[in-house]
Chains A and B, each alone.
Chain A
């Protein structure tokens, strides 16, 4: 069912604002409504947001330096412990950022030195000190590179060249008398000279290169030290993650704080609270402040409260399937309870193998027990567990056990108890479609209920009940010809209602008949919906066939070693076992995915299409929203 909401108006002293919001966040029962003038992005404390982002990127950074965390559930701590970890995580954050900056700086320095070495390398054999190469009173120098053959050209022109041949160019130092400068420049241009400027350094190029190499060596040591320090810090990454959760909680609260209306001395908080949590919210406020006004009222017609679903524990996991489609409209209907039994049955029929069912059941239970998944993941795990149970039950009726025929296992001929999909194709297909018909009727009945509830009995009878009559009648004509009269009455009654009353809002009789015909045309839609349930049969067939073939392959592997005596039997067993394990895990995975997805599709398209109003919005109260730890209730 959809939990009724109440509109809350809370007025209290501004001095108590922080503590009241803290108490409300702990209770997790109130969704704060934003003041009209606060936009989502601007709201909230920027500094807190910054801290969340810094912690996030630090945690991301440390991921690279730490060991992979062991498999297992997230750590479980109390809110007090979480908030107590804040100063320590702050220290860790600063240390991480500092180390990261150091590392970046060291690496930049190494890059710089390596570039310098690259620059100086062509001049390694130049004996002159760099600071000495400059124009004197009578001599001019040119420093640069000459293409191949350029050196000879310049020498022929009569200038002194000191050349250091490289792979593609020649580094050259050319000297001339001050008076011949123009001729030299001309000759150099002819030879294709490109000028080079030494960086402002002292000493010979070689000395500089050696010095750089020495510095790089010590920088590398420093780099290694910093990385080691980061690895050390990474061991405490969980602490950083706790800090991240704490910061997120604080930031969430600041968002709500920004949404609150303020006067000089008081604040007004508008919000939604679940009817069943009203008490809890009020107590939370009372624990944090002495002076306050806590008033609730029913939502008005033009207000759209958020939707929260509440179901029995057995059905609750299937909410995850419903929300995957869309949240129900607040004034619509929560379809979880009606949907769950069908989902359960269809899943089992699609998987239709007790062995696979058993594997999912045990796997799902172990996963829930040891990994302690939270939220949507927990629900999904339970849906799969239930699906496994269903397949376990369906196996003896229409399926197999790990692809093995039950009869081969027990030397009987009574299995499968219902039909063998590979032999009794027609009955199995009719069973699938029949169940589909019941599913669709269930959807129509829910819609009828909604019509009655909303005070529109005409729609319930003429637009919904008429279809049940018409479809039942049509099927009876073919299935049980001896009841022909009853069937015909049903068809005429249902079809007549549709034809005459579908356009009951229209005055013009021809228009009215026209909409009636249009409504009758929908019969094609209903038939394609019913046919769509054939997929139950098809997927069951595929999982059965896959299991069978894989067993066949396993058998062939075993037979291949059959002639080798005892060794062959042992070897065959091991190899066939390994092959079977891999193949069946694959088959289990593919078929579970297929069953999960196709069951959901049958619910969404064929079932929800009949009645579901899906324009709801999830109830998102101010609460402790943690991603990295599980908060223990006190």
Chain B
């Protein structure tokens, strides 16, 4: 005799499972990368406010550095949208989604989700240090930006792999 909970899952068709996993992929890529960027931009923003309080003319440079850890959220967002479009959810036609397809989309979201989350957090640390450096050395903007961008590379690589997986899912 199937129990109550078994029967709920048993009633799901492979198509339903596909939709569920596709949605999970959308959520993962948008939310995890977004969390990373939100924390990152937040931390860098605090540091920037501290510097700008003393040196208002550093505002432009500080803001650019603050924004750099923000890109991961956008990468996650882009992947989420790509999944929505390619899976047909955004077009309203999800009938072709199978369990395999759904799992592929879910897997596709993982690189940008975790790569984005962790790289944003670490990029924020570099950005904060860069902003502090800017307070002491006004001409250090180029260097600070480069240090911060070094971390970005790995978010970009994650993004590319995620995009590949979405397109070939």
Q: Are A425 and B145 in contact, CB atoms less than 8 angstroms apart?
A: no
Additional A-B contact list (6), CB under 8 Å, known A542-B78, A545-B82: A324-B142, A423-B167, A425-B163, A538-B159, A549-B77, A590-B71
Q: Are B141 and A324 in contact, CB atoms less than 8 angstroms apart?
A: yes
Q: Are B81 and A549 in contact, CB atoms less than 8 angstroms apart?
A: yes
- In the complex, what residue of chain B is closest to A605 when comparing beta carbons? B146
When distances are taken between beta carbons in the complex, the residues of chain A under 8 Å from B71 are: 590, 594
A535 within 8 A of B: yes
When distances are taken between beta carbons in the complex, the residues of chain A under 8 Å from B141 are: 324
When distances are taken between beta carbons in the complex, the residues of chain A under 8 Å from B19 are: none
A600 within 8 A of B: yes
- In the complex, what residue of chain B is closest to A552 when comparing beta carbons? B90
Q: Are A597 and B70 in contact, CB atoms less than 8 angstroms apart?
A: no
A629 within 8 A of B: no
- In the complex, what residue of chain A is closest to B75 when comparing beta carbons? A542
Q: How far is the CB of B24 from chain A (nearest CB, A)?
A: 20
Q: Are A545 and B81 in contact, CB atoms less than 8 angstroms apart?
A: yes
B160 within 8 A of A: yes
Q: A532-549: contact bitstring with B at CB < 8 Å (1 yes, 0 no)? A: 101101110110011011
If over half of B's interface residues share one DSSP class (helix, strand or loop), that class is named, otherwise mixed; here it is: helix
Question: What's the interface size class on A, roughly?
Answer: 20 to 34
Q: Are B167 and A598 in contact, CB atoms less than 8 angstroms apart?
A: no
Q: Are A604 and B146 in contact, CB atoms less than 8 angstroms apart?
A: yes
When distances are taken between beta carbons in the complex, the residues of chain B under 8 Å from A542 are: 74-75, 78, 159
When distances are taken between beta carbons in the complex, the residues of chain B under 8 Å from A107 are: none
Interface members, chain B 137-166 (any A CB < 8 Å):
141-142, 145-146, 149, 152-153, 156-157, 159-160, 163-164
- In the complex, what residue of chain B is closest to A542 when comparing beta carbons? B78
Q: How far is the CB of B161 from chain A (nearest CB, A)?
A: 10
Q: Are A545 and B90 in contact, CB atoms less than 8 angstroms apart?
A: no
Q: Are A425 and B164 in contact, CB atoms less than 8 angstroms apart?
A: yes
Interface size on B, residues (CB 8 A): 26
Given the known interface contacts A546-B74, A590-B70, A597-B145, the answer about A425 and B159 at a Cβ–Cβ threshold of 8 Å is: no
When distances are taken between beta carbons in the complex, the residues of chain B under 8 Å from A423 are: 167
Docked pose: A429 CA to B159 CA in angstroms = 13
Q: How far is the CB of B58 from chain A (nearest CB, A)?
A: 15
- In the complex, what residue of chain A is closest to B145 when comparing beta carbons? A597
When distances are taken between beta carbons in the complex, the residues of chain A under 8 Å from B159 are: 538, 541-542
When distances are taken between beta carbons in the complex, the residues of chain B under 8 Å from A605 are: 146
Q: Are B64 and A601 in contact, CB atoms less than 8 angstroms apart?
A: no
A593 within 8 A of B: yes
Q: Which 7 pairs across A and B sit closest by C-beta, in order of nearness?
A: A324-B142, A545-B78, A549-B81, A601-B149, A538-B156, A535-B156, A542-B78
When distances are taken between beta carbons in the complex, the residues of chain A under 8 Å from B156 are: 534-535, 538-539
Q: Are B74 and A590 in contact, CB atoms less than 8 angstroms apart?
A: yes
Contact of A597 among B74, B75, B149, B160 (CB under 8 A): B149
Docked pose: A429 CA to B168 CA in angstroms = 15
A325 within 8 A of B: yes
Q: How far is the CB of A333 from chain B (nearest CB, A)?
A: 19
Q: How far is the CB of A560 from chain B (nearest CB, A)?
A: 16
Q: Are B145 and A535 in contact, CB atoms less than 8 angstroms apart?
A: no
